[in-house]
Structure formats: C-alpha cells, structure tokens
Chain A
Amino acid sequence: MSFPLLTATAALPAVGAIATAAVPAAQRTAAKWLALLFSLATLALAVTVAVRFDPDGARYQLTESHSWIAEFGVRYELGVDGIAVALVALTALLIPFIVLAGWHDADPLETGSRRWRPTQGFFALILAVEAMVILSFEATDVFLFYIFFEAMLIPMYFLIGGFGDRAHEHGEQAAATQRSYAAVKFLLYNLVGGLIMLAAVIGLYVVAGNFSLTEIAQARADGSLDMATGTERWLFLGFFFAFAVKAPLWPLHTWLPNAMQESTAPVAVLITAVVDKVGTFAMLRFCLQLFPEASKWATPVILVLAVISIIYGALLAVGQRDIKRLVAYASISHFGFIILGIFAMTSQGQSGATLYMVNHGLSTAALMLVAGFLISRRGSRLIADYGGVQKVAPVLAGTFLIGGLATLSLPGLAPFVSEFLVLVGAFERYPAIGIIATFGIVLAALYTLVLYQRTMTGPVKPEVSAMPDLRVRELVVVAPLVVLLIFLGVYPKPVTDIVNPAVKQTMSDVQKKDPRPEVEAAK
C-alpha cells in the first residue's frame, strides 16, 4: 500500500489543530508559530498532491478506500480529480496567509480564567476548518463528504462568534451581540441546508444502496441504476439546496454579509475564499454527476437565480457603507458567476467556473486582508471614515488597488480569464443570460473604484494622517497573493491544464444521454 497522501494532507492540519489547542495558556506566540508551521507543511503536502497528479491519467487519482461503517454502506473513500486538486491547493495556499494575517486578532484583551486560551483556540479552529474543507474536497463517498460538510460548521461558528474586530462603532457589548447574531445566523442557515441534504442523502441510499460517488455515477451512466424522474428531482433539490446556502446563491445568501462583517478579516477570507468553495465544488461534483437529468431540468431556474445573484450582489455592493459588507456582496455577485459557469453546461463555462473558484479565492483574500489591515489601523469599518490613505500609506493603497482591480476582473489579472470563460460559456447557450451577466462586470468596476476613490484618494483625513504603511508581516501576506494574481492572469495554463480534463469528464457525465448539438458545435 502506498503512502496515503490525501489522508495526510487532511490529517496534518487536524493534528496541528490539536497540537495548537494544547499549547499552554502563557505560550501564545508558540501557538501561533506552531499553527503557521502546520499550515506550511500542509501546503507542502498539497503541492505534492498537485505534482503527483497526472492530468491525463485516471479520473480520480491517489485514491484510498477503506471500510468504515459497513452498516450504512459507508466507505472511507478519497480521490481527487483536477478540480479537487486545484481547490485543495488553493485551501492549503490561503491558510498560511490567513494565519499570518490574523497573527494579533486573537490576543486576549478581556480577563478570563487562567485556562481561557482564545489565541490557541483561534488558530486551532482555523486549522480544524482547513482539515475538514480539504477532506470534503477529497471525499468520493457521499456520506463522508456530508459529515465534513456539516462538521466544519462548528469550528466556523466559533470563529465567527468568538472573535471579531476590536473596533466597533457601537462599542464592545454591541459588537458581541452582533457577532453572536451573525454566528447563529450562519449556523442556522447552513444547518438547515445540511439537514435537508441529510434527508436527500438518506433518500439516495434508499435508491442506490451505497454511497460511493464513483459507483453511483457509473451505475447512472450505464443505466443500471434507474431513478424515477420525480425521485431524482427531489434528491437533486435536497443536495442543491444545501450547496446553494453554502455557496451562497440568492435568495439564500443573507447570512454571508453578516458573517463577513462581524468576523475578523482573516476569518472572513476563510469563509468566502475557502469554506464557501465547498458549495460550488459540490454542485460540480455531486449534483451534476449523481443527478445529470435533474440538473438539466433545473438549469433554467438556477441560471436565473445566478444572474439575480450577480446583479443583486453587485448593486448592493455599490450601496454599502461598510467595507467588509461591500466585499461580502461583491462575493455574492462572484458566486453568481461561478454558478452560472457550472450550470451553463458548456466546457468553457465549467472550466471558467473552476478557475473562477481559485481566482476568486486569491483576489478576495488580497482585497479583504488588505482591507483588514486598513481597518485595524483606523478602528472603523465605515468607508466614510477614510480618505487620502494613499498619500500616507502608499504600499497599502497600492495593494488594495490591485486586489480591487482583480475583483473587477481587469485584464491581466487572474479573475479576468475565468470571468471571460464563464461569460463565453454562458453566451454560447444562453445569450440573453450572458448579456445580462455582463452588466455585473460594469457594476463591479463601479463598486471597486468608488471604494478605492473614497478611501484612498482625496484629502487626507486627520484620523488617518498618522497611519503606518504595511509592516513586514503584512507584506509577506500580501505580496505573494499579488504576484499570483498577476502570474495567473498572464499565464493560467498550469491551473487550466489540471482542471480541463476533469471538466470534460463532468461534461460527458451530464451530456452522455442527451447530446445537444450546440455543445458539439461549441467543442
């Protein structure tokens, strides 16, 4: 038996979480370094996974399979296709930055008991989320996926509810109340989604008799597993609902602005750049593969919802006064693009969507983390409290601008490639939808540039006049992200090479029974 690389990639941060949590209360700095060390080691493993992965090889590679709960027909089955490799790499890449960016976010202010260890908890929770996210990308057993899809809510919930910005316009007490409100809202939305999915998971078991993604998909493809149309649609809806809450898709998105606004910037990045990706990833992997017919049946409605997300998220972003809420609504708009790409059912669309997941992770991380640095300096999240920052802190302003330009998909930066692919993919089959979605880009330019203009340009406000520029730690966080954004904008081939074969596979799953002439033409 070969070395279980995939298990190790997920187990390492889990071990790191336990180790970090076990660090004594006084040794806060040691806990931070330990967490960073584990996240870097995980990154090394994730890179190994990416290197060992052969894009032209079998669909699922590095597979592991062990019996787990035979009673339920559940196996511990892992395997990655190109899409999963890209997302595992993204996750492992972002976590060290998140850890570094959050270096001082959980230093205790208030007095608790001697055993109260918020710092250790903060970093342990981040690593726990990483472990669960990676496992859910790697799981090829529906039940296994479900377990981690649900379980990751708990550490996430504590991260949102337990740690927030020091600065709050209404004082510490109000901040705590709003934080726990946001955390509960996050948990309830996702838990309800997850429980509805649980009913569908049970239903799938009753119909299929096991949980193996590969087996069920195979049986679906060769016709040996026939689902009644109604059953398939109900099961699809159960799965899709959970993923749409997680992604989030309009009208199930309302938890995201609260959660991102109240949590610290690194946690906000963790939510939107890492955890939410599980939702879109799962649509691609589970909805399309397990329920191809129902996916096609639901496509028109989903596309409309995606377009509403794009436009609605962008419009609301334009109107925000709070920097973090603005980024949250921008993310909702971007998730609309990702879902649009997935359900356009063209290979450009799906390649674009996958690439978009990676690029959105990078660009949001850059923008949000710099915004977090900005907020921590001034102690306010309100756009109106800033002005003229670029004269005081040029490097901060510059990186903020690059993050912003990436968000609006400026050509030359990574998101442009993916957004373009998604729009081309959508346009081929649904021109009207493609045209409407394009307005999202125009609005993106509006909200990003207005945000930059209001905060960074103009006369220097007295409160920001003494603002220091980026420190070394912060530069270490931002610089690699900026480099990556530019690199992938110019040369996306490394990612697309890994992703494309997997997308072709998914496409063929969906189209096999019902080849549509337009797609053939598009290819």
Chain B
Amino acid sequence: MSTAAVHSLWTTAADPISKIDAPKIEYGQLSPTLIVVGAAVVGVLVEAFVPRKARYYAQMFVSVVALAAAFAAVVALAADGYGTTKARIAAMGAIAVDGPALFLQGTILLAALVGLFTFAERRLDPEAHGRPVDSFAAQAASVPGSDSEKAAIRAGFTTTEVFPLLLFAVAGMLVFPSANDLLTLFVALEVFSLPLYLLCALARRKRLMSQEAAVKYFLLGAFASAFTLFGIALLYGYAGSVSYATIAHVVDGTAADIDPALADTMGNDALLLIGTAMLVMGLLFKVGAVPFHMWTPDVYQGAPTPVTGFMAAATKVAAFGALLRVLYVVLPGLRWDWRPVMWGVAIVTMLGGAIVAITQTDIKRLLAYSSIAHAGFILAGVIATTPDGVSSVLFYLAAYSFVTIGAFAVVTLVRDAGGEATHLSKWAGLGRRSPLVAAVFAVFLLAFAGIPLTSGFAGKFAVFKAAAEGGAAPLVVVGVISSAVAAFFYIRVIVLMFFSEPRPEGPTVAVPSPLTMTAIAVGVAVTLVLGVAPQYFLDLASQAGVFVR
C-alpha cells in the first residue's frame, strides 16, 4: 500500500513482530532526479580529485551531460505515457510521476541547462593574472577586502564548486513539484534552498552586498522553512499521515481508517486550517508572493547575476509546481477556504509588484519586482482550480523562465569598471551604442509586459482565460490593470535605452563567449516561438495538466 508509507513506519515501531518490507523503488521513473543527484556527487569528487586546471572542463562536462541526460529521461518517460495514462505514484508514495511533474521537471532541466551556460561564462570579467575568470568569488572563504582576498584575485583563482551546487539545487527542484508527501516536500525544499543560499553569497564583485543577500535569504528562508515544517506537523496531527492522498481523504471525510494513536486530534479543523496556512505560507515565500516577497529584491540584486537568473526562473517553476500539487491534490476539499485568501494574495501581489517596481532605479531590483508581479499573474491561474488553470500555469512558467534567464544574461553583459552596471541611469543610450543587445533586451521587456507576438502575451492570456473561466473575472480585471502599470516601467527602460543620449562615461557591452550567447539566443527564440506559434506547447501543457492522486 503506497498510501501508508510513513504511516506504516509508525505502526511497525509499535509492533516489532511484523517485518519491514524492503521498499520498492521504481528507478526508471525516478531516473531524472537520480541522474542529477548522481552527477552532483560526481561533481564533488571531481572537485576533490581532478587537478585544478582540468576542473572547469570536467565540471562543465559532468553538468551538461547530467542535465541533458536527465532531460532525455524526462522526455522518454513522457513519451512512454507516464505523463498521461501511466501516471503513477512511485517510491512508496513519496514521489508522483505524472503530467505536471514531468512538464515542470523538463522545464527546470532546460532552464538549468541554459542557466549553466551563464554560470560557465568566463569572458566578461577582465582576465586576472592571465586567466579568464567567471562571476563567482575567487575564494569564497576569504573575508571581503582582506589581504587573502586580494591575493586570491591576483592569483586569478576560480572556483568550480558552483557546478555541483547548481546540480544539487536542481535535484531538489526536480523533487519539489513531484513530492507526494509532506516530508518529501520538506526535504526537497531544503535540498534546493541550501545550495541557493550558498550560491547567492559567491559574487566576485560587490561581495559584501552578495553576502548580505545570502544572509537575508538564508534567515528569511530558514524562517519560512520553519513555518512549513510546523504546518506539516499540524497537518500530520490533523490527518495522521503526511501522504497527500490520505490527507485529501481526511479533508473530504472519506478516510478509510482512523489511527487510534491520533484519534484525539484527527479531524480537528483548527489544525487543518492553521497547518494549511503555514504550509502555504512557506510555498508562497518561495514563489515570492506579497506579503512574503521582502527577500526578493535584495537577493536578486546581491546575488551573482547568473545565479539570479537561474533562481528567478527555476525556483519559481519548482515552487509553483509544489503549490499547485498541494492545493489541487491535498486541499481540493478545502477549496472554499483557501480560494478567498489566495484571491487576496494574488491581488496584492499583482498590484504590489507592479506599483513598487515603478520606483526602482536598479535593473536587477526592477526585474525582481517584476517577478513578483508575474507571481501574481501566475497565482490568478492557480486560483482557477480547473484543468485549464493547471495547464495555463505550466505554460506560463515555461514561457517565463526562458525570458527571465535571457534577461539576466543580458544584464551580465552591460559592464563598466566596477563590474556590471546595473544602475538604470547607466543604461541610457544603450540602443545607440549596441543596437543588437538593446533590441534583444527590448524583446525580453516586451515579453514581460505581455505584448502580443511574444511568449509573455500567450502566457498571460492563458492564465487570465483560465481565471475568467474559473469564475475569477475580477482577478482578470486587476490583472490587466497591473499589467498596464507594469508596462509603464518596462517601457521606461526601453525609452532609456533607445531615446536617451548615451553618457560619455557610460558602460560598455562586453562581448560574451558562445555560452552566454547561446543562453540569450535560446531566450529570444523561445520568447518568439511561444509568442507566434504556441499551439504545440499549449497542447503539451494541457495534456500534462492532470495530477495523479
């Protein structure tokens, strides 16, 4: 019985006579995650045993192969019908292998692959000591401004730990949206969060800001995790199980058996409501929804830009996936309780993100607030509680992640003596000096703004349509109003780039290696293809829109 995985642990402890069955693990169906975890471990070994000179290439090779292989595994599973007819719950009830899980895993893997290219970029920063360096700290352990840091920079040190860290984060993200019990959910949350906290602290330049961002992210993230864990505990108290299916049955009042040990608390609605609130709070923290968004601007600004891009895209995908599964699989019976609250969250997120973004003067903070507004739009699709809602959210996430990674990749190119020139005033006249880069960034901004013929429009239309059909027409109205507000600041950047005079001491646009070029090109291609011919991907998302229960 898969539905009683953890439950059975509880009872076996009380009853030593019955044997613990060896768990049955479906290695094939879990292969995407396993490949990435395995590669991350290999990456750690590479770090330990491969000579320093060869590490960069070895790490690149391992990471690229792992992500590509994992993606191939996802595609193979989907082609085999695991996304639709053969959808099942694997690993003793811990992991769901179904349409949304596979779709999101595929998106995360592709986003990670593109993100990896920006991680590996080594041509943007000027060479140190004749060696090309990347955007990560020369020696993370040295105190900023200290002699040892200076020595490390002079020596042209580069660290390659970022690759295994990225892979660990990806592994956690792969599990997060497919977790089918609350403990797995929590473990996955920690597995992808901890490497991200570290990665945030690793910027080569502006290290204090980077470390500050990491500390903020870590403290607030730990806080949110604690909430999540407490919520899980309360839900366990309520349902006597951490399995999604069992909790859903208890919520519906169709539970088969009642655990005698938990008879006092089981079915206590206070536990259910408080537990749900805390659990959802933790997830909303990860997606960056108002009022749990405070970390977003600081972390986005302080983290090394490749990390920001990856995090903004992949974390959002994983977290929305988990949120969808929790709300649609565990708590459909509680719909009438959580929908009004989520309405409120979606409205303040859309409006809050869009309005506060207007006042931003730093491009990374601006994109951070824009990501908050986008979280609000996606929430509108989540609230629809229809199959269309699921598929529209899946599509939106796929479209959004590539725009985001591409946009942050462009941010890494615009540089002056102090590294990336992220202050908006420095972007003035960029269109005169580097028309191509400015045009590409304009495409991304137009996609964020949801202008037709870009992926942003198709995604926005999908979620708004789902919301309207799901009876949330007022959300659509708020959505278009905040889109209009948001359009203002995207356009402001375009005005700045194209219609302002370039500053004489303005930044230059670094010529990147083919790695970053690929990342940006993929971003542009996906943006335009999903904008002009979204049919195939919408089909895919709609086929993948059914959760296994």
Contact = CB atoms under 8 A, between A and B. Distances in A.
B473 interface: yes
A183 B488 CA distance: 12
B534 A69 contact: yes
A282 to B, nearest CB: 15
B398 to A, nearest CB: 14
A197 to B, nearest CB: 9
B477 interface: yes
Given A112-B433, A188-B488, A199 B453 contact: no
A439 to B, nearest CB: 36
A195 B535 contact: no
A202 interface: yes
A146 B451 CA distance: 11
B452 A148 contact: yes
Nearest to B539: A71
Interface stretch (A93-101, A113-121, A283-291, A486-494): A113-121
Given A116-B435, A161-B499, A184-B495, A195 B483 contact: yes
A176 interface: yes
Interface stretch (A48-56, A150-158, A460-468, A504-512): A150-158
B484 A69 contact: no
B350 to A, nearest CB: 13
Contacts of A180: 495, 499-500
A198 B539 contact: no
B329 interface: no
A211 to B, nearest CB: 11
B432 interface: yes
A203 B484 contact: no
Interface in A65-119: 67-72, 110, 112-113, 115-117
Given A69-B535, A151-B453, A180-B495, A202 B446 contact: no
Contacts of A173: 501
Nearest to A192: B484
B535 A113 contact: no
Given A71-B542, A112-B433, A115-B435, A147 B469 contact: no
A148 B464 CA distance: 19
B204 interface: no
B461 A202 contact: yes
A199 B436 contact: no
Of the four ranges (under 10, 10 to 19, 20 to 34, 35 or more), the interface on chain B belongs to 35 or more
Interface in B426-455: 432-436, 446, 451-453
A206 B469 contact: yes
B491 A187 contact: yes
B102 interface: no
B476 A161 contact: no
A161 B451 contact: no
A367 B436 CA distance: 37
B325 interface: no
A196 B484 CA distance: 9
B498 A113 contact: no
A108 to B, nearest CB: 10
A116 B491 contact: no
A253 interface: no
Contact of B432 (A112, A161, A187): A112
B538 A71 contact: yes
Nearest to A234: B473
A176 B432 contact: no
A154 B451 contact: yes
Contacts of B484: 188, 191-192, 195
Contact of A183 (B436, B446, B499): B499
Given A113-B435, A179-B499, A206 B491 contact: no
B488 A113 contact: no
A184 B491 contact: yes
Contacts of B491: 157, 184, 187-188
Nearest to A207: B468
Given A203-B473, A205-B465, A147 B495 contact: no
B487 interface: yes
Given A151-B453, A202-B476, A188 B535 contact: no
Given A71-B535, A188-B487, A199-B476, A151 B451 contact: yes
A196 B452 contact: no
B427 to A, nearest CB: 14
B461 to A, nearest CB: 7
A97 B412 CA distance: 44
A385 to B, nearest CB: 26
A71 B465 CA distance: 11
B480 interface: yes
Nearest to A146: B452
Nearest to B495: A180
A68 B487 contact: no
A116 B498 CA distance: 11
A191 B452 contact: no
Interface string B463-499: 0110011000100110111011001100110010011
A116 B432 contact: yes
B461 A198 contact: yes
Nearest to B434: A113
Contacts of A188: 484, 487-488, 491
A110 B501 CA distance: 10
A295 B458 CA distance: 29
Given A71-B539, A202-B465, A147 B435 contact: no
Interface string B520-549: 000000000000001100110010000000
A180 B497 CA distance: 11
A195 B476 CA distance: 10
Given A148-B452, A150-B451, A198-B480, A161 B538 contact: no
A394 interface: no
Contacts of A202: 461, 464-465, 468, 476
Contacts of A148: 452
A411 interface: no
Nearest to B464: A202
A187 B493 CA distance: 14
Contacts of A69: 458, 534-535, 538
A58 to B, nearest CB: 29
A205 B467 CA distance: 12
B483 A161 contact: no
A450 to B, nearest CB: 34
A412 interface: no
A153 B542 CA distance: 31
A31 to B, nearest CB: 15
A164 to B, nearest CB: 10
Contacts of A379: none
A504 B495 CA distance: 45
Contact of B480 (A67, A183, A199): A199
Contact of B452 (A115, A151, A192): A151
B469 A158 contact: no
Interface-centre pick from B453, B469, B480 (highest chain A CB count, 10 A): B480
B464 A198 contact: yes
A117 B435 contact: yes
Contacts of A187: 487, 491
Contacts of A151: 451-453
Interface in A245-275: none
Interface in A185-215: 187-188, 191-192, 195-196, 198-199, 202-203, 205-206
Given A113-B435, A183-B495, A187-B491, 16 more contacts: A69-B534, A69-B535, A72-B538, A115-B434, A115-B435, A146-B452, A147-B452, A150-B451, A153-B451, A188-B491, A195-B481, A198-B461, A198-B480, A202-B461, A202-B476, A205-B468
12 contacts: A71-B542, A72-B461, A72-B465, A150-B452, A158-B498, A162-B498, A180-B495, A187-B491, A188-B491, A191-B487, A198-B464, A206-B468
| 9 nearest A-B residue pairs (beta carbon) | A71-B538, A147-B452, A180-B499, A195-B480, A112-B432, A192-B484, A150-B452, A151-B452, A161-B499
